[in-house]
Amino acid sequence: MRTAPVTTILGLAAAAAVALALSTSLLHLKRKSNVLLITIDTLRADHLSCYGSTDVYTPVIDTLAAHAVLFEQAYADVTWTTPSMASVMTGLYAPKHGVRTSYQRLRQSVTTVAEYLRQAGFETGAIVASFPLDSIFGLDQGFQTYDDTFTAPLSIDPEHPPSQRSVERVPSRFSDDTQEMMAMLFDKATHDAYRPDNEVTDAAIRWLTTRHRHEPFFFWVHYFGPHEKPQTTSDVYEERRRQLAQYNPDVEMSDHEVGRLLKVIRDLGFMDRTAIILHADHGQSLLEHDYFGHGRDIYDPSQRVPLIVRPSGGLATGMRVTRMVRNLDIMPTILALEGIEPRTTIDGRSLLPALTSSAIDVPEEIYVETYLSANFLFGEIIDPVNDVRLGYRRLGIRTSQWKYVVNDPAPFADVLNAPPITDEVRRKYYSEELYDLASDPGELRNVIASHRSLAAAFLEHVWEVQPRAAPTPEALPIGGTTRERLKSLGYVD
């Protein structure tokens, strides 16, 4: 009879012990554990030491990952904050939930994870750090407490008062409502539009220490993280150098603040009965493709994000999953952790099976998009004399080997009832891209000319994701109570 080596026996015993511990943990989860969702804005996965970075030291997140499941290939479906977080909260792709730009509000008919948990008896709270998550965009649905108090401007321009600048920069061709909305968005950068990470932690600690302790909680804490901070100089190149140099220190500061938050969770006795999920809304291009920022494209630097899931009890023992997953898988995972079934069909899939194995039911193709309006920030100028700008919608499919992108000119998104784009303009500015990620992970060599049939299949898939009758997001309510709220923040006169 052959005898297995001692090391093999010990390894099997250890695996069995882990499986038993996880099973016990999962049974515990079904008894309503707390859920803490930590979002770090603009955080790239490859700028965390637990994801292999040697330039950034993130001991808190590393320790969390050591007792959790780390997903090595997690991707956001949109590279903007508002639409991406709408996907996280609803488990739906952007074409389904309807929030495709930062100008739109989530429809009340769409059920969020906070609404599910509140109906299940959870106390729900959120602390958010920047204007794209302001309650006017509808992501407060289901939260009993939604703290969107911002304390700092994103830029300072003392030479041009906000109202003056808005009047000068909003073209007269826009409708009155659109002019007012654009003026608000122009003005937000000179008023309170975000709050630093330390203030987010302070607010989170206040909520945790004053809540009703007899109920389980779902608590969302959003950090501004390494997102670009206020400009300090009018020199574009100097400002870009400063922002690039600040990215990693800001990541380390966010790690420190997450540590402060988790210490309070531990001190209050919540750690063993709290599931923790840490992720980012999107990444950040750090001059890849000659671009600094996010939202303009759907390349991996902006799309790939960290995702770490720690079940209550922290018994996942540093597991790593290489299968591609999506931000919209977070919502069904939270529901599964609490034994709740979604009442409607969603696009996301629960990642709970990954806590005991790698057999997760996630599609092998990930849809991704970004919508660029034709405004002064993102529009491509096609007529400099008359300041005519073209918007874009960039839609794509990512698999483990391929990234397909279609760049489709969009109408003037800031103009109500804009005329359709002519065939001539669309032909001129329409383009497609295809990258073999196995040989070209930087997405630098467009090989679509030699893979036309594959590109055609991806394009068909892109259009399949689009709803036949596109959902209409609710218009941002500029009148009434919301007008007074925006006026108090300085966004409208």
Model confidence over 176-231: pLDDT tens digits?
444 445 555 555 545 677 899 999 999 999 999 998 778 899 999 999 999 988 77
For residue 406, is pLDDT > 80? yes
Q: Cα–chain-centroid distance for residue 382?
A: 31
Backbone angles phi, psi at 78, to 5 degrees: -140, 145
- What are the tokens at 286? 């750090």
pLDDT for the residue numbered 193? 79
Helix (H, G, I), strand (E, B) or coil at 408: strand
For residue 414, is pLDDT > 50? no
Q: 246: buried, middle or exposed (CB in 10 Å: 19+, 13-18, 0-12)?
A: middle
What span, in angstroms and rounded, lies between the C-alpha atoms of 85 and 82?
Answer: 5
Q: Do domains 28-364 and 369-489 have the same CATH topology?
A: no
pLDDT for the residue numbered 419? 60
pLDDT for the residue numbered 175? 43
Tens digit of each residue's pLDDT (9 = 90 or more) over 329-339: 999 999 999 99
For residue 369, is pLDDT > 50? yes
- What are the tokens at 263? 């210490």
Residue 417 makes CB contacts below 8 A (sequence gap 6+) with 175
For residue 418, is pLDDT > 70? no
The strand pair at 74-75 and 319-321 is best described as unpaired
Residue in the structure block whose two tokens are 């999962």: 26
Tens digit of each residue's pLDDT (9 = 90 or more) over 49-81: 999 999 999 999 999 999 999 999 999 999 999
Rounded to the nearest integer, the mean pLDDT of the chain is: 81
Q: 429: buried, middle or exposed (CB in 10 Å: 19+, 13-18, 0-12)?
A: middle
Which amino acid is it at 471? Answer: P
pLDDT for the residue numbered 190? 55
**What is the sign, positive or negative, of the torsion defined by CA atoms of 438, 440, 442, 447?**
negative
Q: How far is CA 277 from CA 87, 274, 348, in A?
A: 15, 10, 16
- Other Cβ atoms closer than 10 A to 305: 25
Residue 379 pLDDT class (50, 70, 90 cuts):
low
Q: Which residues pair with 371 in a beta bridge?
A: 393
**What is the sign, positive or negative, of the torsion defined by CA atoms of 59, 61, 64, 69?**
negative
More confident residue, 315 or 265: 265
Tens digit of each residue's pLDDT (9 = 90 or more) over 229-249: 877 777 778 888 888 999 999
**Domain definitions of the chain by residue range:** 28-364, 369-489
pLDDT for the residue numbered 302? 97
pLDDT for the residue numbered 405? 97
For residue 159, is pLDDT > 60? no
Backbone angles phi, psi at 194, to 5 degrees: -155, 175
What is the torsion angle, in degrees rounded to the nearest 10, for the CA atoms of residue 289, residue 290, residue 294 and residue 295?
-70
CB–CB of 125/144 below 8 Å?
A: yes
pLDDT for the residue numbered 408? 86
CB–CB of 22/29 below 8 Å?
A: no
CATH of 369-489, one of 1.10.10, 3.30.43, 2.20.25, 3.30.1120: 3.30.1120
For residue 16, is pLDDT > 60? no
For residue 88, is pLDDT > 90? yes
Residue in the structure block whose two tokens are 């948990």: 117
Helix (H, G, I), strand (E, B) or coil at 194: strand
Residue in the structure block whose two tokens are 């969770």: 265
What span, in angstroms and rounded, lies between the C-alpha atoms of 42 and 33?
Answer: 28
pLDDT for the residue numbered 176? 45
What span, in angstroms and rounded, lies between the C-alpha atoms of 359 and 371?
Answer: 33
CB–CB of 205/258 below 8 Å?
A: no
What span, in angstroms and rounded, lies between the C-alpha atoms of 203 and 147?
Answer: 8
Q: What is the mean pLDDT of residues 309-335?
A: 91
For residue 113, is pLDDT > 90? yes
pTM: 0.84
Q: How far apart are the first and last CA of the chain?
A: 86
pLDDT for the residue numbered 393? 86
For residue 324, is pLDDT > 90? yes
Residue 252 makes CB contacts below 8 A (sequence gap 6+) with 56, 57, 58
CB–CB of 265/208 below 8 Å?
A: yes
Residue 355 pLDDT class (50, 70, 90 cuts):
confident
What span, in angstroms and rounded, lies between the C-alpha atoms of 210 and 193?
Answer: 26
CB–CB of 19/356 below 8 Å?
A: yes
CB–CB of 366/400 below 8 Å?
A: no
Q: What is the mean pLDDT of residues 335-354?
A: 94
Side-chain-side CA neighbours of 175 within 13 Å: the count stands at 10
Fold that domain 28-364 belongs to in CATH: Alkaline Phosphatase, subunit A (3.40.720)
pLDDT for the residue numbered 172? 40
For residue 471, is pLDDT > 80? no
User: In this prediction, what percent of the chain has a pLDDT beyond 70?
Assistant: 73
More confident residue, 59 or 485: 59
pLDDT for the residue numbered 161? 45
